[in-house]
């Protein structure tokens, strides 16, 4: 899956070990363009800056419960802006209640991963997320090659 190696990813989670775990799993999938944020404000900042310089993130992993701004708020913030329609926002959270999952999907989450997650399951989700990205880009006129 060499195309995964072209992806640019942000991991927003207030737990350092979770950020490390996701980063390591991504690196095993040959994804090395990875940045991290420790809270929702930092995530918003990084996503906007990347977009402004024309190097937007492909995938943003969001923890639900973060200080300052929650992952759900970050998700809602960007889903309200059409510029980010082809960015995959993935909830990666311990919130496993069905109502929360539905809330996140309604808010526009591309995928929902319940922690703890195994590297194998995360890899499977990555494949699905990448398929979503490809469909979005083809719909956008294939300008991403």
Structural domains counted in the chain: 1
Evaluate whether residue 37 is within a structural domain. Answer: yes
Evaluate whether residue 122 is within a structural domain. Answer: yes
Sheet containing 59-62: order of strands = 33-37, 8-12, 59-62, 88-93, 111-114
Evaluate whether residue 69 is within a structural domain. Answer: yes
Evaluate whether residue 144 is within a structural domain. Answer: no
Model pTM score: 0.93
Evaluate whether residue 51 is within a structural domain. Answer: yes
Evaluate whether residue 145 is within a structural domain. Answer: no
Return phi, psi of residue 112, to 5°. Answer: -135, 120
Domain that holds residue 112: 2-139
User: Tens-of-pLDDT digits for all 145 residues of the chain?
Assistant: 447 889 999 999 999 999 999 999 999 989 999 999 999 999 999 999 999 999 999 999 999 999 899 999 999 999 999 999 999 999 999 988 999 999 999 999 999 999 999 999 999 999 999 999 999 888 876 554 4
CA dihedral 62, 49, 35, 88 (to 10 degrees): 40
Q: How far apart are CA 85 and CA 27, in angstroms?
A: 25
Question: 130: domain CATH number?
Answer: 3.40.50.2300
Evaluate whether residue 92 is within a structural domain. Answer: yes
Show the CA angle centred on residue 70, arms to residues 95 and 20, nearest 5°: 70
Evaluate whether residue 105 is within a structural domain. Answer: yes
């Amino acid at each position: 899956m060499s195309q995964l190696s072209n992806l640019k990813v942000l991991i927003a989670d207030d737990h350092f070990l979770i950020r490390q775990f996701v980063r390591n799993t991504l690196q095993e999938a040959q994804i090395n363009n990875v940045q991290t944020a420790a809270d929702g404000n930092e995530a918003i900042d990084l996503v906007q800056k990347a977009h402004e310089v024309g190097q937007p993130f492909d995938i943003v992993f969001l923890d639900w419960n973060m200080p300052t701004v929650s992952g759900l708020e970050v998700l809602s913030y960007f889903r309200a802006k059409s510029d980010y329609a082809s960015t995959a926002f993935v909830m990666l959270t311990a919130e496993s209640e069905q109502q929360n999952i539905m809330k996140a999907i309604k808010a526009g989450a591309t995928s929902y991963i319940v922690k703890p997650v195994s590297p194998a399951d995360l890899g499977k989700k990555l494949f699905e997320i990448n398929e979503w990205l490809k469909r979005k880009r083809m719909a956008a006129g294939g300008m991403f090659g």
